[in-house]
Amino acid sequence: MQENYYEIIGVAADADQKTVAQVIQLTTEQVTHNYEKKIALYRKAFQIIENQDPKTDPNIRQKSFKALGLSQNADIPTARQATNDAVKQAKFNYERLMHKINKAGETLSDPQKRKAYDANLALQKNAAKKREAAAKKAKIAKHRADKAKKGFLPKFIKLIVFLVFLAIAFEIYQRFFPQ
């Protein structure tokens, strides 16, 4: 299923080209700023752990370990490796998101590509609605079938038991009260 570029960049589907370009630029700047901020946080956390300054507030030290996903008794090499891993993961996530944003911008900025994309997106939404409707119908049919299995046989058995009970009661009545 194709990704929804409108959701990725946070713009309405009826936005004009100029708005799309502005939102893409703002989104790119925001994503880049958040990435740089996250990298700085990881590096600062490592510095706090590495310095082992007894004057450092214990809460800040604890938050530094937590930011890197470490326990309080982790050593410096472990903290360094965790920092490197966190930076690599952040870079990977950033690059993946930037690729999506660039692809969205490329598609939504070109009128022909956008028209084709919108048509494809509409087809996907219709197909998804049809799948949901079919799944709902199947669920209802299964529920009815289960209900029918549970409903008919027990009622039929109860009816037979009741009729047998009546026959026995009638037989007893005739023995004690003959005519």
Q: Token pair for residue 176?
A: 């004690």
pLDDT tens digit string along 35-90? 999 999 999 999 999 887 778 888 888 999 999 999 988 999 999 999 999 999 99
Task: Look at residue 152 in the predicted model and tell me its pLDDT.
Answer: 59
CA atoms within 13 A on the CB side of 137: 6
Task: Indicate whether this model's pTM tops 0.85.
Answer: no
Torsion sign, CA atoms 96, 99, 103, 108: positive
pLDDT of residue 150 exceeding 70, the answer is no
Taking alpha carbons only, the member of 117, 41, 121, 46 closest to residue 78 is 46
